[in-house]
Structure 1
């Protein structure tokens, strides 16, 4: 059994014990080598290393900001155990136990090979003569199949050095926030989205409206999802919205109706938006994928690449002031990272220059109500950024009266 198999088995054992995630990026190389059996354990470290290993989320018991409504008061009515459309987070929930200090599980690596750290290099160095085809290099779950990165960065140089340089440049640009964002004193996150729609799909880049995108999606053959889906689900809402929500993919209800977020998760999303004084019809709501994956399975990399130009063109046309990424997959797709949702929360990221906030998918809240409080904190943060953006524009808000449904 090689180091990767040991790591995979170890992570599966911890998940069976009820833990949602074990983040290795917070550990030393020595500790990771002990975990995978590549180095004898250090008895002095004991349980302290294990305690430090879990990725601690934000204090979920923190009080809301002064003057804010009660943390859970606006989001009542969530059903703890239900079949809630597309389970965009694939979170191991279903337990009403108090929240643990672990974020949702990481997926197999999909996009960002530039996120390698020392422990990954050490693992690769254990068996340089027997590379495994398709094995992943990022995240706490080692992939068993390869993924092809999208054409996300035209400036990234080939090779590890170029990838690291591109990652460093992205981190540096994320810290250079506009003055009005700096004034909010919120940690800066990732800055993603260097590729324009025309570079990925020139035909989609020329679509003049959201209606034109909807018609294009209805006849799309860029991937095979349309062959199994009942209806396309391009998105709906105010075409001039200041606030844009992005989920993962349509579920069964969405596929049947051709509309995003119409199941129980969608009803909860409507309540969440209302809690921050944003009627559903005033925002634009869509998913990364425009057709339902068979059986609500995880989207495949080629499907993401096929749909990304549609999403980017929608964002270009709507021109929102804030993007809310709902769930692990949407956040990691937009930000082109494998970082856990717990580590992405509470920061101002930017996607093509638009401030982006990460939170849990409403379907995850239906499965585990302990995530309602951190989600409430996230959406309040998104609303705070929206208010600041409008103030920076002289209080101007785009017309929110006209809705557009597809």
Structure 2
């Protein structure tokens, strides 16, 4: 059983339509956000990137030093590993959408606090509504707790499918965790095989103009 917070329920409330016309409009607003203190030390807001009309969205924790410098999510060591995983699973990065729970780099790459996460959830909620993916992959414990269960543990929930209001979630380890512990590589690979299978099914149904 998942215990959604009020903010998490609002993330997936499809009756609450997006307040913005496009991701570009949302990005222009997000870059001016000052709802928490992270923006004071960050170089820039790191907004999501990728296909705005995809069935697959990957959501990480927050920007690191490379992302803070370049303004693009997952471009550092963890991002390069993620690219290899996607390539091996035959998922084109440019065909999917990738973002983070928080959009500004926490000092020293520490985990975002609960209040920092809550301050950023409104942006993520609008990203989800605008992209409207069928499959959402929380990468790591921060994304898991921000999206699904505030008390969730990635070691217990990874590799399992969860459904909420028409969205399907499969949490897995963050690529950065694989850099620290190679034993996590095989579980993540198995998870991405599941993701690939579900994503292929999504694309098949979409090509046939069938209900997804």
> Would you call these one fold, judging by a TM-score over 0.5?
yes
User: What does the per-residue CA deviation read over 1:191-237, in whole Å, with 9 as the maximum and x for residues that have no partner?
Assistant: xx532589xxx9x9412111111111111011111111001101111
Which residue of structure 1 lines up, in the alignment, with residue 75 of structure 2? 262
Higher helix fraction: Structure 1 or Structure 2?
A: 2
- What does residue 347 of structure 1 align with? 160
Give me the CA root mean square deviation: 2.3
Match of 1:144 in 2: none
Q: Map 1:119-268; keep pairs closer than 5 Å.
A: 150-152=5-7, 193-195=8-10, 205-268=18-81
Structure 2's unaligned 5+ residue stretches are none
Give the equivalent residue in structure 2 for 1:331: 144
Change over 3 Å in CA distance of 1:197–1:277 after alignment to 2: closer
Q: Partners of 1:197 and 1:385 in 2: how far apart?
A: 20
Q: 8 Å contact 2:55–2:202 — kept in the other structure? A: no
Q: CA deviation at 1:336?
A: 2.3
| Partner Cα distance (1:390, 1:208) in 2 | 25
Distance 1:364 1:346 in 2: 15
Query: Is the 2:11–2:121 Cα contact (8 Å) retained in structure 1?
Result: no
1:66-122 deviation digits (Å, cap 9, x = unpaired) = xxxxxxxxxxxxxxxxxxxxxxxxxxxxxxxxxxxxxxxxxxxxxx8x6xxxxxxxx
**1:334 and 1:351 in contact (8 A); partners too:** no
User: Which protein has the larger Cα radius of gyration, Structure 1 or Structure 2?
Assistant: 1
CA distance in structure 1 between the partners assigned to 2:148 and 2:84 by the alignment: 26
Per-residue deviation at 1:339? Answer: 2.5
Residue among 283, 302, 319 paired with 2:96: 283
Indicate the residue corresponding to 1:271 in structure 2: 84
Gaps of 5+ in 1: 1-111, 115-148, 153-192, 398-406
- Is residue 245–residue 324 contact of structure 1 (8 Å, CA) maintained in 2? yes
Question: Quick one: distance in 2 between partners of 1:293 and 1:351?
Answer: 29
Alpha carbons 1:194, 1:352 under 8 Å: kept: no
TM-score by length of 2: 0.89
- The alpha-carbon deviation at position 382 of structure 1 amounts to 0.9
